[in-house]
Amino acid sequence: MQTLLPILYLLAAAGFILAIKWMNSPVTARRGVVAGEIGMLLAVVGTLLRFEVVSYEWIFIAFFIGSAIGVPIAYYMPMTAVPQRTAFSHACGALASALIGTAEYYRQLPHGVVMVALVMETLLGYLTFTASLMAFGKLQEILPTRPLTYPGQNIVNLGIFSLAVAAGVALIFAPEQTWLFPIFTLLALVFGVLLIVPIGGADMPTVIALLNSYAGLSASAMGFALDNKLLIVAGALDGSSGFILAVIMCRAMNRSFSNVLFGAFGTIQKSAKETTERPVRSASPEEAAEILDSSRSVVIVPGYGMAVAQAQHKLRELSDLLTKRGIEVRFAIHPVAGRMPGHMNVLLAEANVPYDQLVEMDDINSEFPRTDVALVIGANDVVNPAARLDKSSPIAGMPILNVYEAHTVMVIKRSMSPGFAGIDNDLYYMSKTLMLFGDAKSFVTNIVKELNAAVPVSA
């Protein structure tokens, strides 16, 4: 047993590392998922063997309850709700970590390094639990997606966090003061709520990544508290990858961490341009089909509106139809399109859109001036030219897809309402832009019908 356990843990750690490595590419993503699953299985088996469990009764009960919840979620959760499910998973993982830390505290009242790790584990676990539930509520629109702010909010938040840290430090030096632990727990839970309240929906991709990092760090601290090396490795991988992803997201939005956490980004912005009615040009499915049919190159820009309408399969059908007509079709992917990193990639992969048609922002931007038609499906802030052309805009400097440089722009959208950033989009009012008002799936379906009714494609 002494020889087998290190081997199982080593193989499990290798599985986690390979999972992260392989999930960097759509081509190897499935392999990465399998590697992660095998790694987790080995980790669970090794842990059970390590503690020489006498009775497996409660373990099997927990296994069946977890399976009864997890399997239906995996099968029936729509792809549009994956961000919410991710936030909920963070909440469950963080709560598990925090509860284990709480149980260990009352079981042995540890001292020294173990108590330091336990305080970090429970602090991060509890604040991540409530923060993730708040993120879930905002993503599901149970709670307002706009930032909720009040004067002195940052001072209040910092004060509560400081009190929680002070209580944790006091417990490190005097763990026998058990009356202080519930106060410490309550402060961490409250801070998690207040951390997310002033953050708008536009920043949810970064928030999801940060919460992933917090949950991982909590698990890593739990590894130190329980003297479990695999937990330390797995938590560190989760925490570091989540943090790196959050950095990438911030760079994609030209934002800093402090601006994301304390900037209240997403409040409705008013400008002089909004004080008067601005004319827009609209088009019917027949007109849109005619424009697409006469083009040579088309770039499709998906956004959260595509996810809501579940239009990815119809977009694949449209793409195939245009390709058969000799028209070059590509999909432009912005790093923060949707509500979590890689959201658009996952949806398009579900519709079997070829990987080589998915082009990242940095690679596609130089192609827009040579693009006949840019078809925007439910994207908003990531195509707003104000980020480049209006230095006074709240999103000034944010990297965007240069859709406005295409010869013709068509935008499928239900209405003229702003995106999560709460900023009016100047793209909609440009002379080259045609607004295609309606549900994305229905509108694309009608375009496909019109194209099929036109001159048949030669064999």
| 195/208 Cα distance (integer angstroms) | 13
Would you state the pLDDT for residue 397? Answer: 78
> How much of the chain exceeds pLDDT 70, in percent?
90
**In which residue are the tokens 């879930």 written?**
136
Q: Could you read off the pLDDT of 216-228 as tens digits, one per residue? A: 999 999 999 988 8
| 105/89 Cα distance (integer angstroms) | 24
pLDDT-derived band at 49 (thresholds 50, 70, 90) equals confident
pLDDT-derived band at 273 (thresholds 50, 70, 90) equals very low
- The CATH code belonging to domain 275-453 is 3.40.50.1220
Q: Which residues contact 447 (CB under 8 A, 6 or more apart)?
A: 285, 288, 289, 292, 318
How much is the average pLDDT of 407-413?
94
Give the residue range(s) of CATH 3.40.50.1220 domains in the chain: 275-453
Q: Specify whether 381 is catalytic.
A: yes
Of 203, 362, 372, 381, which residue is the catalytic one? 381
Would you state the pLDDT for residue 417? Answer: 74
Token reading at 391 = 């230095």
Q: Could you read off the pLDDT of 203-217 as tens digits, one per residue? A: 777 788 888 899 999
Edge to edge, what strands does the sheet with 433-437 contain?
358-360, 328-333, 297-302, 373-377, 408-413, 433-437
Would you state the pLDDT for residue 298? Answer: 96
Short-list 442, 118, 57, CA closest to 285: 442
> How much of the chain exceeds pLDDT 90, in percent?
50
Q: What are phi and psi of 330, to 5 degrees?
A: -135, 160
Q: Could you read off the pLDDT of 91-148 as tens digits, one per residue? A: 999 999 999 999 999 998 998 999 999 999 999 999 999 999 998 888 887 888 777 8
pLDDT-derived band at 420 (thresholds 50, 70, 90) equals low
Torsion on CA atoms 35, 37, 40, 42, rounded to nearest 10: -70
Would you state the pLDDT for residue 272? Answer: 41
